[in-house]
Amino acid sequence: MMRLAIAMLAVALLGVRAESDQGQAPVSPVKAWVAANQPALVRELIELLQIPNVAADRSNIRRNAEHLRGMLSRRGFTAELLETAGNPLVYGEMKVPGATRTLLLYAHYDGQPVDAKAWQQPDPFTPVLRPPGGPGRGQTGAEPLTAADGSLESYDPDWRLYARSAADDKAPIVAICAAVDALRATGRSPSANLRVILDGEEEASSPSLVPAIGRYRDKLAADLMVIFDGPMHSSGRPTLVYGARGIVTFNLIVYGPRAGVHSGNYGNWVPNPAQRLATLLASMKDDDGRVQVRGFYDGIPPIAGEERAMLDAVPDDSATVLKTFGIAAPERAFERLQDAVQYPTLNVRGLVSAHVGAGARTIIPDRATAAIDVRLVKETRSADLIARIRAHIRAQGYELVDSDPDDEARQRHPRLARMQVSETPTEAFRTAPSDPQARLVAAALERAFGAPPVRLRTLGGTVPIAPFIAALGFPAVLVPTVNFDNNQHEENENLRLGHFFQAVEIVAAVIGG
Ligand SMILES: [Zn+2]
């Protein structure tokens, strides 16, 4: 009954929506195919979303992998599972007569763990279709939607499908398959040989991906890797991203007395590690936000030419972002967000010393700890920046110890600190926009959509597959396709259907252009 109501509401909205996603340009054959095949697209996505995909759930992960192998086979890919030390990779290959280049298309089929109780639907793996506004708008659309409901003639582009991995990252997988269908149905074929690699451990940091390269290097060889993952620009325009920052993290501990001591009996005399840590952190960054560690920005050339123009052309949404975050003004070191993400960061992500609030005591604490993350760019390798930070701390008079200080160290050094550096940094990667393969992707998107894509020189964040990209030795770009407000990794993850349908056009442009 409720399903029927949803269907009727959707049909009622049909007339209103007809113009909204179409624009002025004549409808391309692929766009027309997508419009005519919405039910099949939604049905295939729902079927895939119904298979739980948390990386640790081995048996369901294998069900996903087998299902995906079937999806690729049906499109004429030679498809198989590549076994690894962990979850299998799903691999497909399609040779195209006359093609002179090969694309390696990457997406991942695992998803973040779920806390089902936090979701506003009975089960994150039973997709729900809702009108704009999301959960909490009464019962309408809250009815679980099954594969059988992919039977509407068409869908309102503003409706959203709620399920784990709807946006991150199963929709792009269905879009890859559908793009092959769309090209074929409109009398075309991919313009490149295609290799598809679907990762089953991305949300668990892809531990098995890099080790698998040695075994499968021949299958993975290509001219360009295209990563279909992540949210597109908030404008909804097709987006091409040339890289991602890396990350290395550490805890910085400044030591005080062996145990907390009375602040009345010893205040003004025993050094306070919380105060000293604050001073040390303040020495690392000026008030404008520029890192003061010597050599921190070394080796990064000024951004000029095409790359400068590219940054300047990114639509500026900073006013909205600041308002959303409740911030009056950004730091002054890098005025614009697009400039700020081109450089490494030194970010205090947490601070702990003794107790605050009801638990606060009148003591000089025994230690103070800052948790710090450093985002890396292509020119700044993790080991170099860590070495420079160590040198900076030593230059402030600290002895750096490798473990909690013993008696001898405590007697000898008036200032003791420790850097606990994580052992698994991820380096940055970035492909030049002038790279011939990357140029082909930009040009294909421009031809298909009648305007250049939003081009981002780098993502501010990190993708765990960067080591995989580096080891393969050919360039990579990211082509994100889903709505930016998709709640990925959280409860109520969702996919705007208009973005899903456009994703098929985007993939068709990339592989057919
Ligand atoms: Zn993802």
Q: How far is the CA of 225 from the centre of ligand 1 (A)?
A: 16
Nearest CA to 483 out of 467, 469, 502 is that of 502
Model confidence over 368-388: pLDDT tens digits? 999 999 999 999 999 999 999
> Length of the chain, please?
513
CB 462 within 8 Å of CB 375: yes
The CA distance from 60 to 148, in Å, is 22
The CA distance from 49 to 69, in Å, is 15
Q: How far is the CA of 230 from the centre of ligand 1 (A)?
A: 6
Reading phi first (left if > 0) and then psi (alpha if -120 to 50, else beta), residue 91 is in beta
Q: How far is the CA of 457 from the centre of ligand 1 (A)?
A: 19
For residue 154, the model assigns a pLDDT of: 81
Give the amino acid at 400: L
The CA-atom distances, in angstroms, between 428 and each of 187, 206, 314, 509 are 40, 16, 21, 27
Q: How far is the CA of 110 from the centre of ligand 1 (A)?
A: 8
Q: How far is the CA of 477 from the centre of ligand 1 (A)?
A: 14
Q: How far is the CA of 314 from the centre of ligand 1 (A)?
A: 23
Tokens of 40: 């099949």
Tokens of 301: 């050339």
For residue 513, the model assigns a pLDDT of: 83
The CA distance from 437 to 189, in Å, is 19
Q: How far is the CA of 480 from the centre of ligand 1 (A)?
A: 10
DSSP 167: I
3-state secondary structure 366-417: CEEEEEEEEEECCCCCHHHHHHHHHHHHHHCCCEEECCCCCHHHHHHCCCEE
Q: How far is the CA of 169 from the centre of ligand 1 (A)?
A: 5
Tokens of 256: 């005080």
Q: How far is the CA of 229 from the centre of ligand 1 (A)?
A: 5
Q: How far is the CA of 111 from the centre of ligand 1 (A)?
A: 8
The CA distance from 133 to 274, in Å, is 46
Model confidence over 134-172: pLDDT tens digits? 665 434 444 545 444 555 678 899 999 999 999 999 999
CB 448 within 8 Å of CB 186: no
The CA distance from 374 to 425, in Å, is 10
For 163-191, b/e burial (b = at least 16 CB within 10 A) is bbbbbbbbbbbbbbbbbbbbbeebeebbb
For residue 464, the model assigns a pLDDT of: 85
For residue 476, the model assigns a pLDDT of: 97
The CA-atom distances, in angstroms, between 231 and each of 105, 487, 500, 503 are 17, 10, 12, 11
The CA distance from 481 to 173, in Å, is 11
Q: How far is the CA of 429 from the centre of ligand 1 (A)?
A: 17
For residue 15, the model assigns a pLDDT of: 31
Terminal C-alpha separation, the chain: 45
Q: How far is the CA of 45 from the centre of ligand 1 (A)?
A: 16
For residue 9, the model assigns a pLDDT of: 37
- CA atoms within 13 A of residue 324's CA, in its CB half-sphere: 6
For residue 321, the model assigns a pLDDT of: 85
The CA-atom distances, in angstroms, between 45 and each of 131, 166, 207, 266 are 18, 8, 27, 66
| pTM attached to this predicted model | 0.88
What residues of the chain score a pLDDT lower than 70? 1-25, 134-152
For residue 276, the model assigns a pLDDT of: 98
Angle between helical axes of 273-284 and 382-395 (0-180°, round to 10): 120
Nearest CA to 114 out of 164, 171, 51 is that of 164
- C-alpha triplet 263, 264, 270: angle, nearest 5°: 50
Q: How far is the CA of 417 from the centre of ligand 1 (A)?
A: 37
Q: How far is the CA of 463 from the centre of ligand 1 (A)?
A: 8
The CA-atom distances, in angstroms, between 24 and each of 21, 186, 482, 509 are 10, 21, 23, 19
Nearest CA to 9 out of 161, 162, 159 is that of 159
Q: How far is the CA of 109 from the centre of ligand 1 (A)?
A: 9
Burial of 30 (0-12, 13-18, 19+ CB in 10 A): buried
Nearest CA to 490 out of 48, 228, 50, 112 is that of 112
The CA distance from 232 to 237, in Å, is 7
